[in-house]
Amino acid sequence: MSAKDVIIALDFPTREETLSFLDQFPAGEKPFVKIGMELFYGEGPDIVRKLKAMGHDVFLDLKLHDIPNTVNKAMRNLAKLGVNMTNVHAAGTIDMMRAAKEGLAEGAQGEVPMLIAVTQLTSTSQERMQKELLIPNTIEETVAHYARNTQQAGLDGVVCSPLEAALVKERCGADFLTVTPGIRFADSAAGDQKRIMTPEKAGKSGCDYIVVGRPITQAEDPVAAYRRAVKDFLGA
């Protein structure tokens, strides 16, 4: 698994659509993929096992957020799937994140997956965060504070927008991972994302992993779009 990589968000409702999409890639090309709520809730744990058996690294993106005991037990089960990365919500408190890490380590059958925490969703604007969530600080201050809490809990990094990646690195150090959705090509539609950046700029802004969904999955040539994202992000 690369230290920097492009993760494709497999935002499909069924196993069939997911495998049909991945079948477009040559046999030796196995991109890092993200399984989110839509696909996991539709197909269950077997879709994770299938993609791992096919040779893909998997980021299981379920954003657990509950009392520490519940999250601990859930993570024990998710660890058994052999995922490479999974996550919780940083808003669940330091105690909850620590419980998640402990459960992941207890359930892992081999290498312990990377565990990261969501700071603020890339669909959340500062105005909505302040008015609807009653968080008075700026997006940047809130993300940085959540990142420090995540680091204190012993996790590997955070999910943040690419706009905050450099700040997270500044506050938490170069080795603290930043996983960034909200990636769009300059000629792509923003969709429901508010805080976005191109792959090329993300590569220069402290992002370790970028998560790209619709600009790849809905492209006329998804394989070419994926390779474009890799080239732009890694500069190779």
Residues with Cβ < 8 Å from 181, sequence gap 6 or more? 9, 122, 159, 161, 193, 210, 211, 213
Instruction: Indicate which residue of 63, 73, 201, 204 is catalytic.
Output: 63
Q: Which of 208, 158, 218, 157 is nearest to 185 (CA)?
A: 218
What backbone torsions phi and psi does residue 130 show, to the nearest 5 degrees? -75, -45
What backbone torsions phi and psi does residue 24 show, to the nearest 5 degrees? -75, -15
Identify each DSSP E strand in 13-165 by its residue range. Answer: 32-35, 58-64, 85-89, 114-118, 157-159
Question: Does residue 63 have an active-site annotation?
Answer: yes
Residues designated catalytic: 63
